[in-house]
C-alpha cells in the first residue's frame, strides 16, 4: 500500500479539546489536523429541560421573536385570500348572522333577551377567539418537529406565538364588535321593527372589559399549553378538541339565555361555573346592560384563569424534553 492510498487516520484528541465528532486527517497525508479548542461550558443538549424559573426567563428573552413571528404569520394568512384581513371580521359576522336566523328567528331563542343581536355577537366573537386560539396552539408542536430538533429554545414559545397571532387577528374583530354595539340602537328599527327598543349603555363599566378579556386570554393560554403537549404525543386528540368545543359552545349560552334552564337547576349550576360562560356574561353586563359584574364572578374567573395558566405552563414544561421525539 502506497502513501497515497493510506486510509484517513483519526486525530488524537487532548483532554481539553472539545469537538462535535471524530476529526480525520486529509486523505493522502499522515499529518494530523490541527485541533481548535472550544469552550463547551455554555453548550447544552437541544432537548434539555432547564429549571422552570430559567425556562420562563428564556421565554421572556424571546418575546420579540414571538411577536415578529406572529405578525408575519398574520400577514401571510391574510395574503392567501382575495379579501385579505376582511375575512377576520367577515367570518364571525357571517357566523353570527347564521346563528341569528337559526336560533333567533326559527327557534325563538331570542325571547326574553334584551338586545339579542348584541348578546349573540358578543357570544360568537369571544367564543370563536378562544376556540381558534386553542386549535391553532394545539397543533403548534406537532407542526414544528424539524425546528424543535434543530435548535435549542423554549418550546412554549410555539403555542404562545400561536396565541399572540390570534390576539392580533382578534383586534379588528373586537373593534368591529364595539362599533356594532354602539350603532345597534339606530339599526334595530330597521333590522327588527317589531322588537323592543334598545337603550345604549355607554358607561364607565366598559373600562372593565379589558380586565375580563385579559382573564379570558390567560385561560385560553393555559388550555392551549395543555392541549399542545397532549397533541404532540397523541395527534388524534385534535378530533376530541373539536367535539369538546362543540359541547362547550352549547354550555356557554352563546346564543340563548341561561333562564331557559330554570327547570333544570343542576344544568344551570354547571353552566354558571363554566369559565367561558362567565366571560360572556360579564362582558354582556358591561357592554350591553350597564351592570357591574359581581365580585364572585371576578373571583371565579380569576381562579379558573390562574389555575389553568400556571397548571398549563407547568404541565407543558414537564414534557419539554419529549417534543423533539417521533
Q: What is the pTM of this model?
A: 0.79
In angstroms, the Cα distances linking 235 to 141, 142, 232 are 10, 8, 6
Across 19-28, 57-66, 71-80, least confident range: 19-28
Q: CA 297, CA 162: separation in Å to the nearest integer?
A: 28
Cell numbers of 4, please? 497515497
Better-predicted residue by pLDDT, 190 or 146: 146
**Band of residue 40 on the pLDDT scale cut at 50, 70, 90:** low
Question: Is the separation of the CB atoms in 287 and 118 below 8 Å?
Answer: yes
Q: CA 195, CA 304: separation in Å to the nearest integer?
A: 37
Helices marked H in the chain — which ranges? 52-61, 63-79, 86-99, 116-138, 145-150, 157-191, 209-233, 237-250, 265-272, 275-284, 295-318
Residue 57: other Cβ atoms inside 10 A: 12
pLDDT tens digit string along 180-212? 888 877 766 545 544 555 666 678 899 999 999
Examine the pLDDT at 10 and tell me if it is beyond 80: no
Better-predicted residue by pLDDT, 106 or 280: 280
Mean pLDDT of 260-280: 90
Examine the pLDDT at 99 and tell me if it is beyond 60: yes
**Band of residue 153 on the pLDDT scale cut at 50, 70, 90:** confident
What's the confidence (pLDDT) of residue 272?
A: 92
Burial zone of 239 (CB within 10 Å; 0-12 exposed, 13-18 middle, 19+ buried):
exposed
Amino acid at each position: 500500500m502506497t502513501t497515497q492510498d493510506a486510509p484517513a487516520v483519526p486525530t488524537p484528541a487532548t483532554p481539553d479539546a472539545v469537538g462535535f465528532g471524530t476529526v480525520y486527517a486529509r486523505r493522502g497525508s499522515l499529518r494530523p489536523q490541527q485541533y481548535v479548542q472550544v469552550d463547551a461550558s455554555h453548550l447544552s443538549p437541544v432537548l434539555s429541560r432547564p429549571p422552570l424559573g430559567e425556562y420562563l426567563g428564556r421565554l421572556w428573552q424571546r418575546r420579540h421573536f414571538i411577536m415578529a413571528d406572529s405578525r408575519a404569520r398574520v400577514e401571510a394568512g391574510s395574503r392567501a385570500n382575495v379579501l385579505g384581513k376582511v375575512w377576520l371580521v367577515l367570518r364571525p359576522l357571517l357566523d353570527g348572522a347564521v346563528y341569528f336566523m337559526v336560533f333567533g328567528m326559527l327557534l325563538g331563542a331570542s325571547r326574553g333577551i334584551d338586545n339579542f343581536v348584541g348578546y349573540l355577537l358578543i357570544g360568537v366573537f369571544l367564543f370563536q377567539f378562544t376556540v381558534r386560539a386553542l386549535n391553532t396552539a394545539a397543533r403548534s408542536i406537532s407542526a414544528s418537529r424539524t425546528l424543535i430538533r434543530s435548535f435549542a429554545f423554549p418550546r412554549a414559545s410555539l403555542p404562545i406565538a400561536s396565541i399572540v397571532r390570534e390576539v392580533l387577528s382578534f383586534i379588528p374583530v373586537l373593534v368591529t364588535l364595539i362599533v356594532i354595539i354602539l350603532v345597534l340602537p339606530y339599526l334595530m328599527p330597521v333590522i327588527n321593527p317589531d322588537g323592543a327598543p334598545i337603550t345604549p349603555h355607554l358607561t364607565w363599566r366598559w373600562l372593565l372589559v379589558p380586565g375580563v378579556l385579559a382573564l379570558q386570554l390567560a385561560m385560553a393560554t393555559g388550555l392551549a399549553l395543555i392541549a399542545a403537549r397532549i397533541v404532540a404525543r397523541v395527534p388524534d386528540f385534535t378530533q376530541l378538541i373539536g367535539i369538546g368545543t362543540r359541547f362547550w359552545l352549547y354550555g356557554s349560552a352563546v346564543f340563548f339565555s341561561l333562564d331557559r334552564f330554570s327547570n333544570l337547576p343542576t344544568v344551570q349550576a354547571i353552566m354558571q361555573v363554566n369559565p367561558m360562560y362567565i366571560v360572556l356574561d360579564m362582558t354582556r353586563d358591561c357592554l350591553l346592560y350597564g351592570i357591574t359584574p359581581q365580585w364572585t364572578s371576578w373571583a371565579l374567573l380569576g381562579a379558573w384563569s390562574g389555575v389553568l395558566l400556571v397548571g398549563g405552563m407547568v404541565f407543558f414544561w414537564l414534557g419539554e424534553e419529549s417534543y423533539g421525539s417521533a
